[in-house]
Amino acid sequence: MNIQIQLIFRKSENELTAIVRSSKFGIIVDIDGKTVSLDPKRYNHQCDFTFISHAHTDHLCKKTSTTENNHKILVSKATSLIAQARGYRLDDVTEVCDGFQLINTGHILGSRGLLIGNELYYTGDISIRERSFMKPADIPSAHTLIIESTFGRPEYVFPNLVEIIHKTNGIISEMYNLGVPVLLMGYPVGKAQLLATLFGHWDPIFVHDSIDKMNSVYMELGINLKDMATHSIAEKKGLLAKNKPWLMIAPLNAARSNFVKLMKQRYGAVTIGFSGWAIDRRYKFMMDLDYTMPMSDHCDFPELVKVVRACNPKKIYTFHGFSVEFAASLRKIGFDAESLVGINGQKGQQEPAKKQIPSSMPDELTLRLDHFFS
Ligand SMILES: [Zn+2]
Ligand SMILES: [Zn+2]
């Protein structure tokens, strides 16, 4: 069933500016006679434009190729290259289009928000923190803001990056002294490459084969990453050994996998997981990690509020994560904000909990775990 709740805002009494809808396809905006589908879960050929904010799999749909209806896909060059390397085919893509502006959101390489007609800004996933090669997001001012709210609860306040680097180096150094190998774990696109630059000074350092592929794309796009041997090559050459320290960058979705079990059994490796969810103490146990670090490619709560203030919109729609709570917090400080999920009366676009997560996990967190796997 395609339940669509239409939210209408008007520039003046009579002039209709835009309609923001939440549908089975995701968020859709009708503006100036054009229909724009924002990060759709399912490809909608009835729209004039599809915007893809970045190459995490929760923002890509398997089929986004078309030659029908002059449909255009708005996406940055880097995102389309990373997406293609991940097996998503994108046709008819463009970065430049009249009436639209793609703006850096500082989330992962190539991530962009969409400014429509200088009036409506959709953020996609966003970070305003400088992290190694990642520059903070640029925030345009706009009449209407559609903002992600992954960490839209006041308890989500991340420590600064220097503190995280310092603590992580401390753990690695302790493990090196004990002769214990360490797996640094994050999602394979974005986080893994940051880990490679932030901790690449350790030696020897290896990389999981799945991440190696993504590293190559990053390098093609001009990011300077250390040349690291892959896990399979290291195994073949006998470079991994018990009681001899080494580091490996591995995907976080493998935390409960046979790969991690094998690394633990064979080499006694310990794991450090990097995610904003680490603010919640339960996260470490839920993910079966030895250590966790709250390092995120999203804004924390105060940063989300900063983005809103910088944009200074008349109307705000929140989506993703704690969207209902974040909209309520924004109303408290005087903004006109509502959650697209809350209004829709549905659980929204969050994916169901993945199989790897134990059923005892609190519901509110299970719903939000899609980000771990992207
Ligand atoms: Zn993302
Ligand atoms: Zn996301």
pLDDT tens digits for 3-21?
455 555 555 544 546 889 8
CA distances for 241 relative to 238, 250, 265, 269, 350, angstroms = 7, 17, 12, 10, 41
Contact 327, 307 (CB under 8 A): no
CA of 241 to the centre of ligand 1 (A): 35
Render pLDDT for 163-210 as a digit per residue (tens, 0 to 9). Answer: 999 999 999 999 999 999 999 999 999 999 999 999 999 999 999 999
Question: Does domain 161-293 fall into CATH 3.40.50.10710?
Answer: yes
CA of 129 to the centre of ligand 1 (A): 15
CA of 160 to the centre of ligand 1 (A): 20
Alpha carbon distance 194, 310 (integer Å):
26
CA of 161 to the centre of ligand 2 (A): 21
> Would you list the DSSP string of 52-66?
---S-GGG--SEE--
CA of 233 to the centre of ligand 2 (A): 32
Which listed ligand is nearest to 371 at the C-alpha?
2
* Those residues with Cβ within 8 angstroms of residue 307's Cβ, 6 or more apart along the chain or in another chain: 123, 126, 128, 137, 139, 147, 299
pLDDT at residue 359 in the model: 34
Contact 192, 215 (CB under 8 A): yes
Contact 204, 197 (CB under 8 A): no
Which listed ligand is nearest to 105 at the C-alpha?
1
CA of 149 to the centre of ligand 2 (A): 10
Instruction: Tell me the domain boundaries of the chain.
Output: 5-156+297-373, 161-293
pLDDT at residue 89 in the model: 83
> Number of C-alpha atoms within 13 angstroms, CB side, residue 6?
9
Alpha carbon distance 191, 101 (integer Å):
26
CA of 326 to the centre of ligand 1 (A): 18
Stated pTM of the model: 0.88
CA of 30 to the centre of ligand 1 (A): 24
CA of 179 to the centre of ligand 2 (A): 37
pLDDT at residue 16 in the model: 47
CA of 191 to the centre of ligand 2 (A): 13
Q: 5-156+297-373, which class in CATH?
A: alpha beta
Q: Which of 290, 292, 286 is nearest to 368 (CA)?
A: 286
pLDDT at residue 357 in the model: 36
In this structure, the dihedral spanned by the alpha carbons of residues 363, 364, 367 and 370, taken in order and rounded to 10 degrees, is -120
Secondary element (H or E) of residue 28: strand 26-31
Contact 216, 191 (CB under 8 A): no
Low-confidence ranges of the chain (pLDDT < 70): 1-17, 62-69, 254-256, 342-374
pLDDT at residue 24 in the model: 80
CA of 61 to the centre of ligand 2 (A): 13
Radius of gyration of the chain (CA): 21
CA of 181 to the centre of ligand 2 (A): 31
